Amino acid sequence: MLYFKEMEHRTIIFVTGNEHKIREAEAILSPLGIILEQNDCGYPELQEDELESIAAFGAEWAATMLNREVMVDDSGLFIEALGGFPGPYSAYVFDRLGNERILKLMENEVNRKATFRCVIGYCCPGAKAQVFTGEVIGEIAKESRGNSGFGYDPVFEVDGVTFGEMGEDEKNRLSHRYRALVRLAEWLRVRH
């Protein structure tokens, strides 16, 4: 999956309440010697249109509060025909509308292009946050398909297959989260 040597063992606190994100990140980072510890303390989320500023603020806040090396994940689904909606409000929209109502909004749309973006905010206490972005371009499916993954996975497809239809390993090789985590891992390897 990744093409560089394992780093010296290190532990990073992953501030999230989402078990799915933890599992994905562990599968990607543990072969490199990075151990994740989950902390569900949460962090104040800025009401911004840019995932990068939300993730940076969250990482700095969590690093200060926990006095530890931390990472946060802010992800969003940006649907072109809906002007980028739900974007940074994806989790809130999913909780309120779910996939079926997103599909209803897209019912008569010809342009089904969508981008899944993930921004990992990483920070040590007293430092400025670093952000690492990954994205994957796909389409909104015409119907929900598959039981794997979480959130919008059953309605987001790449090359005709939804993330919900993919196995964990297949999704982890091409997902937006994988791409952001690889950038984080490469940065850590070079600087630490």
E strand or H helix at 134, and its extent?
Answer: strand 130-140
Distance CA 107, CA 82 (A): 12
Residues 6+ apart with CB under 8 A from 170: none
Q: Which of 40, 49, 73, 74 is catalytic?
A: 74
Could you please report the per-residue DSSP string of 96-119? HHHHHHHHHHTTT-S--EEEEEEE
Identify whether the C-beta of residue 149 lies closer than 8 Å to the C-beta of residue 116.
Answer: no
Residue 2 identity? L
Tell me whether residue 74 is one of the annotated catalytic residues: yes
For the chain, helix (H) and strand (E) counts, in that order, are 5, 8
How open is the CA angle 14-88-176, to the nearest 5 degrees? 60
- Name residue 157's beta-bridge partners: 139, 162
Instruction: Return the axis-axis angle of helices 19-29 and 176-191, rounded to nearest 10°.
Output: 50
Residues designated catalytic: 74
